Chain A
Amino acid sequence: MSTAEQLKELTEQKYRYGFVTDIEEDRIPKGLSEDVIRLISAKKGEPEFMLEWRLKAYRHWLTLEEPGWANVHHARIDYQDIVYYAAPKPKKQLGSMDEVDPELKRAFAKLGIPLEEQMRLAGVAVDAVFDSVSVATTYKKKLGDLGIVFCSFSEAVKEHPALVEKWLGSVVPHTDNYFAALNSAVFSDGSFVYVPKGVRCPMELSTYFRINAKDTGQFERTLIVADEGAYVSYLEGCTAPMRDENQLHAAVVELVALDGAQIKYSTVQNWYPGDAEGKGGIYNFVTKRGKAMRKAKISWTQVETGSAITWKYPSCILQGDDSVGEFYSVALTNNRQQADTGTKMIHVGKNTRSTIISKGISAGKGQNTYRGLVKILKGATGARNYSQCDSLLIGDKCGAHTFPYIEVRNPTAQVAHEATTSKISEDQLFYCRQRGVSEEDAVSMIVNGFAKQVLKELPMEFAVEAQKLLGMSLEGSVG
């Protein structure tokens, strides 16, 4: 078999998480209207303020046009052809892990995240979101003793309505953009974290999202508030079964880091990317943003290997003086995947600092776009930014694009931008193979080397997963 054929075979490896779990579901008919929103809100037993907020968002959404500026192409989405609420039918109230639907537990096991194992071994608290509704929340007691709230969004709405009402939409308002408005109207669940003043969360908090049902959109909403001087590290992992239809995923994540607080948010996204011809796959249109107050720090790390289309820009509003924003990203596109991803760093306060490290990997016919904005406002005296955008091309049918936008309104600011584009060369592959390493392992090693600067930012157990995922999602380069 020639090198080209081997590479073709390697880059066309099948999606490993493409199983469907047969679980009884509670789902409402397709389509979106005020009545659907009222129904969602009622099913979730929400207080009045939530319904009002949803309706406000929906009415605003109706006035918006779907944005067309991203460097991605897809057929028009029919928003009336989507089921906006699908929840596994609860057999009864869940008190402990033992009561979780065994079928569901098996599904998680297939995903490689057995909850019990994680509870026992990893010390990771997992809030599992399965088709939009949280199924099990672990470690609640231990966290509760520290005053940390970590629960599903629905639960937070019921148990901590004041916190939710205070912070919901404070970073990503319901008017923010088309997909954020849609999410605000229909979101079915998500995660909520509140870490009180001065508390350092003793474990990584983790949520696994998985889209199971057919024709459903997953609209989850995550809100993390770190009070003054608090610290929290949050992990998010995503997978979805294989389906021929495209599924919409329009999530919103809001982070609030008050004075001196630190939030580290890590994502490994492995939604179903569609098949080699581009059929099926997730449309991942996500709004993620954090606001950092005085001396606070927000750090986004993402490894994006899945989805047919990825459209996301985890951003930081560096509101307070001396606040810090970081964005570390690996985005991999293979076959016909398209990614338009990057970040926005908005420097408002004095002496604010931001770092952007973006690594784009394109293979097959994948298209990878980095789009980033560094904006230094008038009052941001002494602001500094460093951006580095590297692209790695594998084969000659893929593309890498970089759109860095820089707006500086303060003369004392220092902004640096570096960009490189490279290919895996035949020489590198031959060198590895001559030393005994198979071509598959060689490509994986070279890609991981390329992404190392970002991978080292991930928590240890996630980094190992991400490395495997990169190796698995593709290998190979035709020099």
Chain B
Amino acid sequence: MAANGDGKGGALLRVEGLCAKIDDNEILKGVDLVIRPGEVHAIMGPNGSGKSTLAGVLAGRDTFDVTAGKVTFEGQDLLALAPEARAAAGLFLGFQYPVEIPGVGNLYFLRTALNAVRRARGEEELDAMDFLALAKEKMKLVELDPAFGSRSVNEGFSGGEKKRNEVFQMAVLEPKLAILDEIDSGLDIDALRVVAAGVNALRRADRALLLVTHYKRLLEYIAADRIHVMAGGRIVRSGGPELADELERTGYAWSAEARPELAAAGA
């Protein structure tokens, strides 16, 4: 356990002064964020404000260079871990654009992932039969047809199917923190309902969610405890659920006006 008391009873995720760049472009310019177990946070903000970059940096995407700051996950230095070790520690990223892997069966992929994570945690691997039973049960959560199991990972899936598949994977991998990056983008209202219902069914006292979204619409289906507004690579405002309503009325223009130095930086 870390000296700050994070971990059990403390913060699950603690982000302090996080700065990151891609090539020579500084995108995150000092992000601070604390998430405790069981909490649901939403990060909103205009395009280019750094929301997806934050999600990518937390998950370990190596196209970004972290230039300053620190991130701990249950008190452990998250930035020191390889992406697969972060997954094993219990961090899940639902992708805005889930990636296609031709020729690799959806369930085969997920079983490989689950068993890799279980191995890393010192747990016994699931055999094919047990895994299949688990997968079947979890597929129901997002109304995925069992035929999806044998199709190649995300190949030829519709936008809605891809997002449902992300939530299905989350359900099987049972993370402590799920970062869902624009899980609502490209979904019609029915698909959004299914995805949101799946996510809600996975809410637990020991599991936190970080929703990254552009629109308040998602928050009508998944209630967030804390809402943060990101602009110019920083969290410029945080508040309760009421903040979302305010944003709905005023848009994001104020976020740049409130911090003119950020507007110049090209938020």
Name A residues whose Cβ lies closer than 8 Å to a Cβ of B.
Answer: 2-3, 425-428, 430-439, 441, 445-446, 448-453
Contact = CB atoms under 8 A, between A and B. Distances in A.
Given A426-B63, A436-B84, A436-B120, A449 B101 contact: yes
Top 10 nearest A-B pairs (CB, nearest first) are A449-B103, A449-B104, A435-B113, A436-B87, A436-B117, A433-B83, A431-B99, A452-B103, A436-B116, A433-B84
B184 to A, nearest CB: 20
B180 interface: no
B61 interface: yes
Given A438-B116, A445-B109, A450-B103, A431 B98 contact: yes
A448 B104 contact: yes
A434 B60 contact: yes
Nearest to A426: B63
A438 B112 CA distance: 10
Nearest to B56: A430
Interface string B168-189: 0100010000000000000000
A450 B101 CA distance: 9
Given A426-B62, A433-B82, A436-B113, 10 more contacts: A3-B62, A427-B99, A430-B83, A433-B60, A435-B109, A435-B113, A438-B116, A445-B109, A446-B101, A450-B103
A150 B29 CA distance: 73
A450 B104 CA distance: 8
Contact of B173 (A433, A435, A439, A445): A435
Interface string B82-110: 11101110001101011111111000011
Contacts of B95: 431, 434
Most chain B beta-carbon neighbours within 10 Å: one of A428, A432, A450: A432
Interface in B153-181: 169, 173
Contacts of B100: 428
A436 B173 contact: yes
Given A438-B116, A449-B152, A433 B99 contact: no
B59 interface: yes
Interface of B: 59-63, 82-84, 86-88, 92-93, 95, 97-104, 109-110, 112-114, 116-117, 120, 152, 169, 173
A426 B64 CA distance: 12
12 contacts: A431-B98, A433-B60, A433-B82, A434-B59, A434-B84, A434-B92, A435-B113, A436-B87, A445-B101, A446-B101, A446-B104, A453-B103
B236 to A, nearest CB: 28
A3 B113 CA distance: 20
Contacts of A451: 103
Given A3-B62, A449-B152, A437 B113 contact: yes
A441 B103 contact: no
A430 B56 CA distance: 10
Contacts of B102: 449-450
Contacts of A433: 60, 82-84, 87
Contacts of B86: 434
Contacts of A448: 103-104
B117 A428 contact: no
A382 to B, nearest CB: 32
A425 B61 CA distance: 13
Contacts of A3: 62
A446 B63 CA distance: 20
A435 B60 CA distance: 12
A430 to B, nearest CB: 5
A449 B99 CA distance: 14
Most chain A beta-carbon neighbours within 10 Å: one of B88, B92, B99: B99
A437 B116 contact: yes
Contacts of A432: 101, 109, 113
Contact of A428 (B84, B88, B99, B114): B99
A425 B154 CA distance: 15
B87 A441 contact: no
A394 to B, nearest CB: 15
A291 to B, nearest CB: 33
Most chain B beta-carbon neighbours within 10 Å: one of A2, A430, A439, A441: A430
B101 A428 contact: yes
Most chain A beta-carbon neighbours within 10 Å: one of B98, B116, B169: B116
Contacts of B82: 433
Contacts of A452: 103-104
